[in-house]
A = this chain, B = another copy of it.
Amino acid sequence: MSQMPDFSVLAATCPSRTSLARIANKWTAMVVSVLGNNGLMRFGDLRTRLDGISGKVLTETLRDLERDGLVTRHVHAEIPPRVEYELTPLGFTLHAPLLALCTWAEEHITEVLASRERYDVRNG
């Protein structure tokens, strides 16, 4: 039978690590979660939903996701312009895992905050 090359994110020069760096990222998790929940979304709506993100960072995040094949960009020839984004099938395979991270953060923040307080009291 044919042999798949062995990729490991643990190897410093393995290309898979560059992909991990993109998906294991705060904004990526939020963008993929929101796009996965809502389907097609305009740039501006995405920006509003991801409270606090700057236009520059959202643009860069979306462009990187598009480059990796996780998001599709739809430009409409209208004035004013309308640009919409949606997950590709590949991107959608990340929706559940990344949404899980967002949900984890929300569900466990009370424990995390308590741990931080204990840690900060013990130390400086």
Contact = CB atoms under 8 A, between A and B. Distances in A.
A61 to B, nearest CB: 12
Interface residues of A, number: 52
Contacts of A17: 26, 105
A79 interface: no
A70 B91 CA distance: 28
Interface of A: 7-17, 19-21, 23-26, 28-30, 34, 49-52, 66-69, 90, 93-94, 97-98, 100-102, 104-109, 111-116, 119-120
A12 B51 contact: yes
B93 A19 contact: no
A105 B19 contact: yes
Nearest to A97: B100
A92 B112 CA distance: 14
15 contacts: A7-B109, A9-B30, A9-B106, A10-B49, A16-B105, A19-B108, A21-B26, A23-B101, A23-B104, A24-B24, A24-B98, A25-B26, A68-B115, A69-B114, A97-B97
